[in-house]
Amino acid sequence: MRVAEAWRVALDALRANRMRSLLTMLGVIIGVASVVILVAIGTGTKQQVEQQVEGLGSNLLLVVPGKIEVGTAPVVSPLDLKDVDAVSRVVGDPGRVAVTVASGATARAGNRSDFTTVQGVLETTPSVFTRSLSRGRYLTGADVDTSRRVAVLGASVARTLFPERDPLGQQVTLAGVRFRVIGVFAPLGQSLGVDRDDEVHVPVTAAQRLWGTQRIDGIAVKAPDRERIDQLGERIVAELSRRHPDTEFSAVTQQQILGVLGDILGVLTGVLAAIAGISLLVGGVGVSNIMLVSVRERTREIGLRKAVGARPRDIGVQFLLEAVLLTSIGGLTGMALGVGTALLVDAFSPIPAAITWWSLALAFGVSAAVGIVFGVVPAQRAGRLDPVVALRAE
Amino acid sequence: MTVAAVEAVDVSRTYELDGVSVSALRGVSLTIDQGEYVAVIGPSGSGKSTLMHLLGGLDRPTGGRLVIGGRDVASLTAPELATLRNETIGFVFQAFHLLARTSAVDNVALPLVYRGVGARQRRERAAAMLGRVGLGHRLHHRPNQLSGGEQQRVAIARALVTEPAVLLADEPTGNLDSATGEAVLELLERLNAESGVALVMVTHDQEVAARAHRRIAVRDGLIRSDTRHDRPGSAGSGAPATLDPAPSAEPRSASGSGPGHPPGGSGGAAGATGRLPRTGAGGAG
Ligand SMILES: Nc1ncnc2c1ncn2[C@@H]1O[C@H](COP(=O)(O)OP(=O)(O)O)[C@@H](O)[C@H]1O
Ligand SMILES: [Mg+2]
């Protein structure tokens, strides 16, 4: 009975001061909405990246010079095609070994141009990385062996350079040298804001000639099975270290990449959520403030209630409920706003967003908790008011 | 007359204000018996309200012993005292103190909320009580839709809905014009006579005080006189009292209990000579 009355009174108090309640809630609404949105974006991005890394193909091993760690500077690669042959011998199957030597370059066709990434690769790339074409064919061993100037375009490069025409058989100029288009990749989409269809594949030999280098930036190996993947990595690194004693090499698996990326994105999401959480706290301070005002305004009411038999706890519960209602309603509103915005972002922007139930539960729980934490002091103050003094208040 | 509703023995109340202590009551003894009709008079600032707050358990004495409904206030925790107020006491204030956004019937039902009575029963009892104070047709009006006299009737209904032993009214007609005030007064007297609730009322009006069965004069935090009339306004010791406020009144602690014997006889007589002022002209306030 008493609790029912406390509910009624608390709701009534919020209704009596609609504008003030709304403004007070605003802090909580914004805080909760930003937590939900940012966690959704963080989660969505993480899921997308995981999908993409897994989509690269299974049992993938990436071998690069230097260390794969956050914050280490890239190393100029000492690798060349002879090292690739050596790695192929270690693996025992050249068909499982892919390479890249990449550089930014302007691609031109007619009066159109597009700045893109040109990758020098072997004919093995589609099978190692599970890439598929939408049109034409991929590079062949003969293309690579003879440094043929043929190119496979990424979907967006094809769209930019040949918006109306069929690109197959057309000429593109890469860094001033003409190549013939023999294929177009099926689109991949975006990843962390990067357009993955913005690339052009040419034979590694042609690319090296284009840039006047013997360099290979990195080697990718599709391991025969998952069990021996680490062991294979170690053997490849050992072989490369033997050939280049001054350079350190790293072999990483998809799982390790996923782990590192997951960690980075997790930290990022956490930091964003924490920043959003601060606005929730600020909202809580606002609630505390307005509750103190509410207690002062209703001092005589408190005195009267005590005179007719309300216990300190009855008064305290009433005001605590008011604070919790304030933040909970704010929290629910913020959740709705956050979910709505996240869905819109996911649908109408390149940024992925995924709603997770735990982020909703957390946001709501935190907002209710903020109400309790910031409502306790005003509620206690109300509960302890001396009824005689309270009845005399203005 | 069996068990006293409220008993105060040598009760004092001192306020501390910035290190200065103000003695609002300085040793007061009295007993309120069941069904009594008591008028409390005295100049402004003499301690009447303080006394009412103590008798109603709204405040605690800083000295002496206070027993409400057979329970020593000093032994009660704050929630216990709140429950005791709810069960034993009804308050009527000069300023009505109704909840503004709440209908008459819900205002009256409020004490029942804290007694844990269910919503339906609360409304029924509140409506019935409003009927008894003549406001059966105003159940769903809000305070701002009621006249001052009606508001005070609502407050009286609220005070009585719990069927308390004592009704404490601190200048209940102070905010009302004389005709309305008279009607409210008659209502209080009728309820006192009908239901047997003890009525303790602070008033500035000598004529009103004379209608009570018993008159307590307070001055400077002390009881200067405490006189009973067998019948209000009748002959005997009551008659002179209406003309001259208690010149020869025996100052006594209500039911003659010994210990906290309050003011000396001579002091009481001196303090009470001359007409008691309607307002605080001669008082401390
Ligand atoms: N809360 C308080 N703090 C300090 N002094 C008070 C307080 N309440 C009452 N007093 C003082 O106690 C005395 C008696 O006050 P009160 O009981 O209200 O008198 P009355 O009701 O007879 O006018 C006055 O001097 C008043 O100033
Ligand atoms: Mg007073």
Number of Cβ atoms within 10 Å of the Cβ of B160: 21
In this predicted structure, the answer to whether residue B250 has a pLDDT above a threshold of 80 is: no
User: Can you tell me which atom of ligand 1 is nearest the CA of A388?
Assistant: 1
Q: Please name the residue of chain B whose CA is at the shortest distance from the CA of residue A5.
A: B113
Q: How far apart are CA A280 and CA B209, in angstroms?
A: 61
Query: Count of alpha carbons within 13 Å of A223, Cβ hemisphere only?
Result: 22
Q: How far apart are CA A224 and CA A231, in angstroms?
A: 12
pLDDT at A35: 87
Which B residues, 25 through 54, put their C-beta within 8 Å of a C-beta on chain A?
53
Are A35 and A124 found together in one domain?
Answer: no
Q: Which residue, B67, B74, B57, B91, is CA-closest to B6? A: B67
B112 sits in which H/E element: helix B104-113
In a domain, A66, yes or no: no
Of B53, B111, B119, the CB nearest to A309: B111
pLDDT at A70: 59
The alpha carbon of B24 and the centre of ligand 1 are apart by a number of angstroms equal to 6
Task: Answer for the pair A92, A70: CB distance below 8 angstroms, yes or no.
Answer: no
* Nearest residue (CA) to ligand 1, atom 16: B47
In a domain, A62, yes or no: no
Domain count, chain A: 2
Say how many CB pairs under 8 Å bridge A and B: 66
Across the range A305-322, mean pLDDT stands at: 94
pLDDT at A361: 87
* Nearest residue (CA) to ligand 1, atom 20: B45
Q: Which residue, B83, B102, B91, B159, is CA-closest to A312? A: B83
Q: How far apart are CA B44 and CA B51, in angstroms?
A: 13
Task: Answer for the pair A63, A221: CB distance below 8 angstroms, yes or no.
Answer: yes
Q: How far apart are CA B49 and CA B174, in angstroms?
A: 13
Across the range B194-204, mean pLDDT stands at: 94
Decide: B53 in ligand 1 pocket, CB within 6 A. no
Q: How far apart are CA B256 and CA B222, in angstroms?
A: 16
Of B59, B101, B113, the CB nearest to A1: B113
Q: How far apart are CA B100 and CA A188, in angstroms?
A: 66
Torsional sign, CA A273, A278, A281, A286: negative
In this predicted structure, the answer to whether residue B244 has a pLDDT above a threshold of 50 is: no
Are A273 and A164 found together in one domain?
Answer: no
Are A185 and A268 found together in one domain?
Answer: no
Q: Is A312 in the B-facing interface, judged by CB distances under 8 Å?
A: yes
In a domain, A58, yes or no: no
Question: A166 or B238, which is more confident?
Answer: A166
Residue where one domain finishes, among candidates A221, A247, A273: A247
- What does pLDDT average to over chain A? 89
Question: A69 or A79, which is more confident?
Answer: A79
Q: How far apart are CA B260 and CA B30, in angstroms?
A: 9
Inspect the interface and report whether the beta carbons of B58 and A311 lie closer than 8 Å. Answer: no
Question: B264 or A162, which is more confident?
Answer: A162
In a domain, A61, yes or no: no
Residue where one domain finishes, among candidates A209, A226, A247: A247
Question: B255 or B111, which is more confident?
Answer: B111
User: Can you tell me which atom of ligand 1 is nearest the CA of A392?
Assistant: 1
Helix extents (H) in chain A: 2-16, 18-55, 81-91, 125-129, 141-145, 155-161, 204-211, 229-243, 254-297, 299-307, 312-348, 357-384, 387-392
- Length of chain A (residues): 394
Are A27 and A86 found together in one domain?
Answer: no
pLDDT at B240: 37
Q: Of the ranges A22-36, A139-153, B96-110, which one carries the lowest mean pLDDT score?
A: A22-36
Band (B275; pLDDT cuts 50, 70, 90): very low
Nearest ligand to the CA of B53 is 1
Q: Which amino acid is at A203?
A: P
What backbone phi and psi angles, to 5 degrees, belong to A353? -140, 135
* Total-model pTM: 0.72
Q: What is the pLDDT of residues B48-77, one digit of tens each?
A: 999 999 999 999 999 999 999 999 999 999
Q: Are strands B214-219 and B37-41 parallel, antiparallel or unpaired?
A: parallel
In a domain, A70, yes or no: no
Q: Measuring CA to CA, how many Å separate A350 from each of A153, A342, A343?
A: 22, 12, 12
Q: How far apart are CA A36 and CA A14, in angstroms?
A: 25
B248 min Cα distance to partner chain A (Å):
34
Nearest ligand to the CA of A388 is 1
| DSSP output for B48-108 | HHHHHHHHTTSS--SEEEEEETTEEGGG--HHHHHHHHHHHEEEE-TT----TTS-HHHHH
- In three-state secondary structure terms, A86 is helix
Of 3.40.50.300, 3.40.50.920, 3.20.20.220, 3.50.50.60, the CATH number of B34-43+77-273 is 3.40.50.300
Share above pLDDT 90 across residues of chain B, in percent, rounded to a whole number: 75
For residue B81, give every residue at least 6 positions away whose Cβ sits within 8 Å of its Cβ, in sequence order, or none. B57, B60, B73
Q: How far apart are CA A42 and CA A268, in angstroms?
A: 7
What residues pair up with A177 in beta bridges, in sequence order?
A174
Domain that holds residue A243: 76-247
Q: What is the pLDDT of residues A73-130, one digit of tens each?
A: 667 788 889 999 999 999 999 999 999 999 999 999 988 999 999 999 999 999 888 8
Inspect the interface and report whether the beta carbons of A387 and B114 lie closer than 8 Å. Answer: no
Query: Count of alpha carbons within 13 Å of A94, Cβ hemisphere only?
Result: 9
In this predicted structure, the answer to whether residue B11 has a pLDDT above a threshold of 80 is: yes
Of A4, A12, A309, the CB nearest to B82: A309
Inspect the interface and report whether the beta carbons of A309 and B86 lie closer than 8 Å. Answer: yes
Contacts of A389 in chain B (CB under 8 A): none
Are A207 and A114 found together in one domain?
Answer: yes
Are A81 and A213 found together in one domain?
Answer: yes
Are A334 and A367 found together in one domain?
Answer: yes
Contacts of B91 in chain A (CB under 8 A): 307-308
Are A187 and A139 found together in one domain?
Answer: yes
Q: How far apart are CA B215 and CA A392, in angstroms?
A: 26
Are A222 and A107 found together in one domain?
Answer: yes
CA A170 from chain centre, in angstroms, equals 38
Q: How far apart are CA A247 and CA A337, in angstroms?
A: 53
Domain boundaries, given as residue ranges, for chain B: 34-43+77-273
CA angle B198, B199, B203 (to 5 degrees): 160
In this predicted structure, the answer to whether residue A231 has a pLDDT above a threshold of 70 is: yes
In a domain, A153, yes or no: yes
Are A135 and A23 found together in one domain?
Answer: no
What backbone phi and psi angles, to 5 degrees, belong to A19? -60, -45
Residue A79 in tokens: 């690798």
Q: How far apart are CA A11 and CA A322, in angstroms?
A: 7
Task: Answer for the pair A98, A121: CB distance below 8 angstroms, yes or no.
Answer: yes
Q: How far apart are CA A51 and CA A45, in angstroms?
A: 10
Q: What is the pLDDT of residues A253-305, one digit of tens each?
A: 888 878 888 888 888 888 888 888 888 888 888 888 899 999 999 999 999 99
A306 min Cα distance to partner chain B (Å):
7
In this predicted structure, the answer to whether residue B138 has a pLDDT above a threshold of 70 is: yes
Decide: B46 in ligand 1 pocket, CB within 6 A. yes
Q: What is the pLDDT of residues B92-112, one digit of tens each?
A: 999 999 999 899 999 999 999
pLDDT at A129: 84
Are A42 and A179 found together in one domain?
Answer: no
Q: Is B79 in the A-facing interface, judged by CB distances under 8 Å?
A: yes
Q: How far apart are CA A318 and CA B99, in angstroms?
A: 15
First-to-last alpha carbon distance for chain A, in angstroms, is 30
In this predicted structure, the answer to whether residue B191 has a pLDDT above a threshold of 60 is: yes
- In three-state secondary structure terms, B123 is helix
Across the range A61-79, mean pLDDT stands at: 76
- In three-state secondary structure terms, A250 is strand
Task: Answer for the pair B187, B157: CB distance below 8 angstroms, yes or no.
Answer: no
Number of Cβ atoms within 10 Å of the Cβ of B237: 15
In this predicted structure, the answer to whether residue B270 has a pLDDT above a threshold of 70 is: no
Residue B281 in tokens: 């002209």
In this predicted structure, the answer to whether residue B6 has a pLDDT above a threshold of 50 is: yes
Task: Answer for the pair A150, A182: CB distance below 8 angstroms, yes or no.
Answer: yes
Inspect the interface and report whether the beta carbons of B97 and A1 lie closer than 8 Å. Answer: no
Decide: B47 in ligand 1 pocket, CB within 6 A. yes
Residue where one domain finishes, among candidates A177, A212, A247: A247
In this predicted structure, the answer to whether residue B281 has a pLDDT above a threshold of 50 is: no
Q: Which residue, B92, B95, B67, B93, is CA-closest to B81? A: B67
Inspect the interface and report whether the beta carbons of B53 and A309 lie closer than 8 Å. Answer: no
Band (A137; pLDDT cuts 50, 70, 90): very high
- What does pLDDT average to over chain B? 84
In this predicted structure, the answer to whether residue B13 has a pLDDT above a threshold of 90 is: yes
Residue A13 in tokens: 């108090």
Q: Is the ipTM of this structure higher than 0.90?
A: no
pLDDT at B246: 40
Q: Are strands B198-202 and B37-41 parallel, antiparallel or unpaired?
A: parallel
Question: A73 or A246, which is more confident?
Answer: A246
Q: Is B59 in the A-facing interface, judged by CB distances under 8 Å?
A: yes
Band (A312; pLDDT cuts 50, 70, 90): very high
What residues pair up with A109 in beta bridges, in sequence order?
A112
In this predicted structure, the answer to whether residue A71 has a pLDDT above a threshold of 70 is: no
Contacts of A392 in chain B (CB under 8 A): none
Rg of chain B over Cα atoms, rounded to whole angstroms, equals: 19
The alpha carbon of B168 and the centre of ligand 2 are apart by a number of angstroms equal to 12
In a domain, A34, yes or no: yes
Q: How far apart are CA A84 and CA B224, in angstroms?
A: 115
